[in-house]
Chain A
């Protein structure tokens, strides 16, 4: 098999350190743990890596009730019970009731697949530890059928976390860790470009200015992220709002158009509007007094 490298895709902007992280995980076959503010492209990364490597992506979205063993397999005893009541012949082979989990799926793949374990911090704190063995050895045992399921090709495992819970040290030691820092202006420009290739330059730069300003507002409950920026730009385009209207020079127009798309939290919207209002009052007084 040829060694493939990841360098980002035409729909995803990967910085040097992120590229390094993915390639190291590919080469040394270690799971890659990705953290970062919401909307920094953690989930999409896995999709893009799969795309770039031309392989399939197996997604395992973790919820608070997800258990590690569900990634391996589940024994559907209820169906079996039902079948036994109905006198179905299937009931005699327990293998008919083994339901494959995501890891199993990934292990079965002929080509090295990408396995995304999304938002691992949602699960119980024991969850990562319960997967240590399987991720290390890339194999597990099915007790009911006495099979050993081993990976044909070790999948590339990408794990994301939003930092809701600490992850156990033993688990961390086995992973590569990368923190996606919030994009700087030029990276953000590239990201927007990837999504809106024909966006006018002046609108882009005005929009980014407003966006980064809003992020600076102290006391926001939720700072707008890349997703909000992209949604907002989509709206600006749909409403055909010209760049000039985003200018902050005129204090009376200081509230940017459609700012509700950037701020999703009601309290934040109020806070923001109040701040703009206060600024306006201040600058209005400033304008009148000296003359």
Chain B
């Protein structure tokens, strides 16, 4: 039964491993999950899910799974009214029996036992069970029971728990798989971090030198360590044009998560395409414009330039003066892109649009050409390729 839950979770791409599953069993063995479904829910989530982004998916799957168990139980208990159950429950299992069952195998075992008892009972009392119409409720709902005795039908807790915890879907907004996919993001971050660490320069390790000199009885022994933050400088330009709405948050997250890893990382925003101005702060993009010229002067050509944008627009916005949808541009976008590329020999364009669409979208084709083909999809392998390109020596 638990194994099924485990596989359902894996199928939904919640990364659970055998280690976690064994922990779950160990906990059940030690009675951690008590005998209430709520406890079981909390404990299963605690041991199986290691990231709040998966909480919602867990809730959905747990709900389905639990629904299944409930249905199975209903088949057995279906006809037994709760009133009757309540009175009988204490008779079925004594305190000693509870403890025994606990030792035997916990929740599963308890259900088995109760099932058997109830079936025996059902035969004996046939007919009489149907008189009260509250059929179809499992004794293992929110009420559960605890080792001190069966407490089926506790009014208070039943009302409080009318909505199952997992049905509330409290964690819905923490799941980010809607876009790039959580797994991708994780991998992508790893790639970027590796990128950040590449080519790290050595610096004098003062502590190391002192300590090894000391160990060396005072003879100088110089130690070097890789610099914590490497020397790679990155200039990021984000498209925040309308068609990017679906991607922008994700892209920003991706890069801001790695921000601390880079010593020099500069952000700028653009709208659809590159023109004479860029923005530092998206919300004030009509006020605080930074001339693109200034950016090119300020950040040396040793910066690696990364554009992130879907390059999806009308071709006029790239090829014509005055083609921009937001303002009057004196010079065509293509001219500005070329200027940037002239200053920054290491440049790539990351495109969150699926690669299959590139051929069919003229503006993407044009942009890719302007980039001399250095456009990569925002996927793991795309990032890999892009990073490789950025690390190439200039000839």
Is A78 a contact of B214 with CB atoms below 8 Å?
A: yes
Asked if B51 is at the interface (CB within 8 A of a chain A CB), the reply is yes
Residues of A within 8 A of B212 (CB): 77
Q: How far does the alpha carbon of A21 sit from the alpha carbon of B26 in the complex, in Å? A: 14
Which of the candidate stretches A24-32, A98-106, A247-255 sits at the interface with the other chain?
A: A24-32
Asked if A54 is at the interface (CB within 8 A of a chain B CB), the reply is no
Is B50 a contact of A27 with CB atoms below 8 Å?
A: no
Contact with B along A5-16 (1 / 0, CB 8 A): 000000000001
Which of the candidate stretches B12-20, B93-101, B328-336 sits at the interface with the other chain?
A: B12-20
- Give A82 Cβ to nearest chain B Cβ, in Å: 9
Q: How far does the alpha carbon of A77 sit from the alpha carbon of B208 in the complex, in Å? A: 10
In the complex, the chain B residue whose C-beta lies closest to that of A219 is: B283
Residues of A within 8 A of B51 (CB): 172, 177
Contact of A24 among B20, B32, B210 (CB under 8 A): B32
From 21 to 56 in chain B, residues with beta carbon under 8 angstroms from any chain A beta carbon are: 23, 26-27, 30, 32, 38-39, 42-43, 45-47, 49-52, 55
- Interface residue tally for chain B (C-beta within 8 Å): 38
In the complex, the chain A residue whose C-beta lies closest to that of B260 is: A164
Given contacts A27-B32, A181-B170, contact A17 B193 (CB under 8 A): no
Contact of B214 among A30, A35, A77 (CB under 8 A): A77
Asked if B230 is at the interface (CB within 8 A of a chain A CB), the reply is no
- Give A146 Cβ to nearest chain B Cβ, in Å: 16
- Give B313 Cβ to nearest chain A Cβ, in Å: 26
Q: How far does the alpha carbon of A251 sit from the alpha carbon of B50 in the complex, in Å? A: 45
SS class, residues of chain B in contact with chain A? helix
Residues of B within 8 A of A166 (CB): 186, 189, 257
In the complex, the chain A residue whose C-beta lies closest to that of B17 is: A173
Q: How far does the alpha carbon of A16 sit from the alpha carbon of B215 in the complex, in Å? A: 53
Asked if B356 is at the interface (CB within 8 A of a chain A CB), the reply is no
Q: How far does the alpha carbon of A262 sit from the alpha carbon of B19 in the complex, in Å? A: 43
Residues of B within 8 A of A20 (CB): 32, 39, 42-43, 46
Is B20 a contact of A81 with CB atoms below 8 Å?
A: no
Residues of A within 8 A of B287 (CB): none
Asked if B171 is at the interface (CB within 8 A of a chain A CB), the reply is yes
Residues of A within 8 A of B26 (CB): 28
Is A77 a contact of B193 with CB atoms below 8 Å?
A: no
In the complex, the chain B residue whose C-beta lies closest to that of A75 is: B211
Q: How far does the alpha carbon of A33 sit from the alpha carbon of B52 in the complex, in Å? A: 12
Asked if A179 is at the interface (CB within 8 A of a chain B CB), the reply is yes
From 63 to 87 in chain B, residues with beta carbon under 8 angstroms from any chain A beta carbon are: none
Is A80 a contact of B19 with CB atoms below 8 Å?
A: no
From 105 to 142 in chain B, residues with beta carbon under 8 angstroms from any chain A beta carbon are: none
Q: How far does the alpha carbon of A81 sit from the alpha carbon of B39 in the complex, in Å? A: 57
Q: How far does the alpha carbon of A176 sit from the alpha carbon of B50 in the complex, in Å? A: 7
From 218 to 242 in chain A, residues with beta carbon under 8 angstroms from any chain B beta carbon are: 219
Residues of A within 8 A of B20 (CB): 173
Contact with A along B238-278 (1 / 0, CB 8 A): 00000000000000000001001000000000000000000
Residues of A within 8 A of B45 (CB): 17
From 158 to 196 in chain B, residues with beta carbon under 8 angstroms from any chain A beta carbon are: 170-171, 174, 186, 189, 193
Asked if A259 is at the interface (CB within 8 A of a chain B CB), the reply is no
- Give A161 Cβ to nearest chain B Cβ, in Å: 11
Residues of B within 8 A of A181 (CB): 170-171
Is B215 a contact of A27 with CB atoms below 8 Å?
A: no
Residues of A within 8 A of B55 (CB): 179
SS class, residues of chain A in contact with chain B? helix
Contact with B along A151-169 (1 / 0, CB 8 A): 0000000000000111001
Given contacts A16-B42, A177-B46, contact A24 B211 (CB under 8 A): no
From 1 to 56 in chain A, residues with beta carbon under 8 angstroms from any chain B beta carbon are: 16-17, 20-21, 23-24, 27-28, 30, 33, 35
Asked if A192 is at the interface (CB within 8 A of a chain B CB), the reply is no
Given contacts A164-B260, A175-B50, A178-B46, contact A28 B32 (CB under 8 A): yes
Asked if B217 is at the interface (CB within 8 A of a chain A CB), the reply is yes
- Give B242 Cβ to nearest chain A Cβ, in Å: 18
Is B27 a contact of A27 with CB atoms below 8 Å?
A: yes
In the complex, the chain B residue whose C-beta lies closest to that of A144 is: B215
Asked if B213 is at the interface (CB within 8 A of a chain A CB), the reply is yes
Is B30 a contact of A169 with CB atoms below 8 Å?
A: no
Residues of A within 8 A of B217 (CB): 84
Is A174 a contact of B32 with CB atoms below 8 Å?
A: no
Asked if A125 is at the interface (CB within 8 A of a chain B CB), the reply is yes
Q: How far does the alpha carbon of A164 sit from the alpha carbon of B20 in the complex, in Å? A: 24
Is A28 a contact of B214 with CB atoms below 8 Å?
A: no
- Give A118 Cβ to nearest chain B Cβ, in Å: 18
- Give A260 Cβ to nearest chain B Cβ, in Å: 21
From 175 to 198 in chain A, residues with beta carbon under 8 angstroms from any chain B beta carbon are: 175-179, 181
Q: How far does the alpha carbon of A165 sit from the alpha carbon of B258 in the complex, in Å? A: 8
Q: How far does the alpha carbon of A28 sit from the alpha carbon of B39 in the complex, in Å? A: 16
Closest 3 CB pairs of A and B: A77-B214, A81-B214, A179-B52
Other than the given A20-B39, A77-B212, A177-B50, 17 more pairs (CB < 8 A) read: A20-B43, A24-B46, A30-B23, A77-B210, A77-B215, A78-B210, A78-B211, A84-B217, A165-B260, A172-B50, A172-B51, A173-B19, A174-B19, A176-B46, A179-B171, A179-B174, A219-B283
Q: Which residues of B contact A (CB under 8 A)?
A: 15, 17, 19-20, 23, 26-27, 30, 32, 38-39, 42-43, 45-47, 49-52, 55, 170-171, 174, 186, 189, 193, 210-215, 217-218, 257, 260, 283
Instruction: Sample 26 A-B pairs with CB under 8 A, ordered by A number.
Output: A16-B38, A17-B42, A17-B45, A21-B42, A23-B32, A24-B27, A24-B32, A24-B47, A27-B30, A27-B32, A28-B26, A28-B27, A33-B50, A35-B52, A78-B214, A80-B214, A81-B210, A81-B213, A84-B218, A164-B260, A166-B186, A166-B189, A172-B51, A173-B17, A181-B170, A181-B171
